[in-house]
């Protein structure tokens, strides 16, 4: 009887006395709790429907993606500022101004070029290096090359498109490094400045034009300004017919006096070694 009393009354007592029993119980309880939480957050919670949420996220992504693709290029373009088509480190000189119909006579003379005994109004600016040497011509803005041509008078001409309304034009290039259809980044090399037959006395330079809706605007007014400023600019078409008629009439009336005066001035400047370079119009 004594030996019988020393034996555990049931198997549970012996199981509980095992060293691994309590840790096993804790692990089992933790697994049950974790499973319950996961179940509640998914199928167990009536307020959360993962399939509906997934569908809504997909619809949101589909609706947002087209807008981003359509506007991304425009936003990037507006972040750019219009730059001179030369390296910032270069000692550049604007040797011929844009002909402004509203400027005074002295300023307008800086935008005239004499070719074949006739004065032409500059529709852009001429840029040269202070030492007269050749230099790299770079893109004023990011855009697409729409035209590359060799003109017998103007030299090589490259045209870039920057959206629907803005274009830039680069002429008097000795070398061209782009082709039609190329996507060009701002600051990327387009070519090398050179000389042209239209302005032989101008030496090595690049003629740069900035157009809005096909109309020339003064580049100097928009350098270092955002593209959006030019996009919002209201371009006024100058009454060129009247101005040309006035100029022709004045040339006929003044004839030799005015011509001799300007030729005398140019000869004097040449003797003094000045750089009164004349310009030309890409669209002429």
pLDDT tens-digit profile of 210-253? 999 999 999 999 999 999 999 999 887 655 544 444 445 444 44
Tracing tokens 């270092």 back to the chain, one arrives at: 224
Q: What is the mean pLDDT of residues 154-161?
A: 97
Q: With bands split at pLDDT 50, 70 and 90, how would you rate the model's confidence at 1?
A: very low
Contact 141, 225 (CB under 8 A): no
Per DSSP, what are the bridge partners of residue 276? none
| Mean pLDDT for the stretch of residues 53-72 | 56
Q: Which residues of 42-53 are buried (b: 16+ CB within 10 A; e: fewer)?
A: eeeeeeeeeeee
- Indicate the burial class of 154 (C-beta count within 10 angstroms; 0-12, 13-18, 19 or more): buried
Q: What CA–CA distance (Å, rounded) separates 104 from 204? A: 28
Environment class of residue 85 by beta-carbon count within 10 Å: exposed (0-12), middle (13-18) or buried (19+)? buried
Residues 162, 141: contact at Cβ < 8 Å?
A: yes
* Rg of the chain, C-alpha, whole Å: 38
pLDDT at res. 273: 40
Torsion-angle region of residue 180: left (phi > 0), alpha (psi -120 to 50) or beta? Answer: beta
More confidently predicted of 5 and 125: 125
Whether the full predicted model's pTM is greater than 0.75, yes or no, is no
Predicted confidence band of residue 266 (pLDDT cuts 50, 70, 90): low
For 159-210, what is each residue's pLDDT tens digit? 999 998 999 999 999 999 999 999 999 999 999 999 998 887 778 999 999 9
**Mean per-residue pLDDT for 27-45?**
75
């Amino acid at each position: 009887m004594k030996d019988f009393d020393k034996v555990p009354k049931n198997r549970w007592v012996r199981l509980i006395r095992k060293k691994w029993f309590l840790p096993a119980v804790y692990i089992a309880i933790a697994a049950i709790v974790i499973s319950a939480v996961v179940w509640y957050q998914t199928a167990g919670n009536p307020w959360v429907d993962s399939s509906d949420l997934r569908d809504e996220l997909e619809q949101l992504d589909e609706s947002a993606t087209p807008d981003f693709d359509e506007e991304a290029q425009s936003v990037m373009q507006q972040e750019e500022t219009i730059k001179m088509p030369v390296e910032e480190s270069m000692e550049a000189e604007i040797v011929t101004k844009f002909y402004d119909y509203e400027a005074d006579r002295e300023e307008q003379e800086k935008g005239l070029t004499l070719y074949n005994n006739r004065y032409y109004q500059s529709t852009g600016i001429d840029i040269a290096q202070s030492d007269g040497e050749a230099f790299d011509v770079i893109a004023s803005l990011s855009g697409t090359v729409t035209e590359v041509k060799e003109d017998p008078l103007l030299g090589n001409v490259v045209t870039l498109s920057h959206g629907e309304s803005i274009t830039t034009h680069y002429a008097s290039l000795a070398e061209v490094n782009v082709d039609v259809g190329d996507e060009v980044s701002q600051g990327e090399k387009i070519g090398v400045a050179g000389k042209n037959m239209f302005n032989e006395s101008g030496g090595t330079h690049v003629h740069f034009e900035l157009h809005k809706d096909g109309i020339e605007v003064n580049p100097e007014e928009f350098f270092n300004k955002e593209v959006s400023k030019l996009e919002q600019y209201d371009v006024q078409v100058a009454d060129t017919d009247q101005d040309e008629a006035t100029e022709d009439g004045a040339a006929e009336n003044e004839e030799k006096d005015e011509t001799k005066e300007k030729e005398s001035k140019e000869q004097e400047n040449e003797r003094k070694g000045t750089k009164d370079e004349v310009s030309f119009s890409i669209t002429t």
